[in-house]
Every structure is written in C-alpha cells, then in structure tokens.
Amino acid sequence: MILEAVMLQVKQGMEEEYEEAFREASKIISSMKGYISLELQRCMEVKGKYLLLVKWESLEDHIVGFRQSKEYQEWKKQLHHFYDPFPTVEHFEGVSL
C-alpha cells in the first residue's frame, strides 16, 4: 500500500464550491482500480488550505492507472481550476518499526 499526500491551496472565496465539487469528484477516484480510501482535511489555521490523503494498492495504480485514464481528465476538469498554486503530489510507503 502507498499513501499519496497532497497539500492543496484553494483560491480565496471558493472553499465551499470546492468542497462540493470534491464530493462529486471523489466518486471518480473511488471507482478506480487499486483505490483503497481517501481523506480530505481542512486546515484550521489557514483558510483555503487542505490536505488530501489517498491510499492506493500500488504506485502504478495511481500514476498509471488513474493519472493516465479518461477518468482523470474528468477529475482534472472538476477540480484543477480551484488550485493556486498548483499542488505537488508526493507518495509515501510504510516503514517497518
């Protein structure tokens, strides 16, 4: 399992519209092969800042299966115009302790 982590900054005044659009767009990502779960967290200190955490079975499920799909084009259309600046996506794997 891998964890996709993305810090998102939504344009000022568009937070409610973004959250509504995200609810709809989450149906797209949740239907993808390898998807496990997602969380969208709203920052308490900075208005318009969100943390997106998505669990995938593998890195390929995200960067190939989702990112190179027609479904991703719809995800992009629904959400990407909200971001400024455009977010950086990072992937993490668990550490055995």
Q: Which residues contact 1 (CB under 8 A, 6 or more apart)?
A: 36, 55, 56, 57, 93, 94
pTM over 0.75: yes
36-79 pLDDT, tens digit each: 999 999 999 999 999 999 999 999 999 999 999 999 999 999 99
Return the closest-CA partner of residue 62 out of 39, 81, 90: 90
Residue 38: which domain range? Answer: 2-93
| Domain count of the fold of the chain | 1
How far, in whole angstroms, is CA 32 from its chain's centroid? 13
Q: What is the CATH number of the domain that holds 23?
A: 3.30.70.100
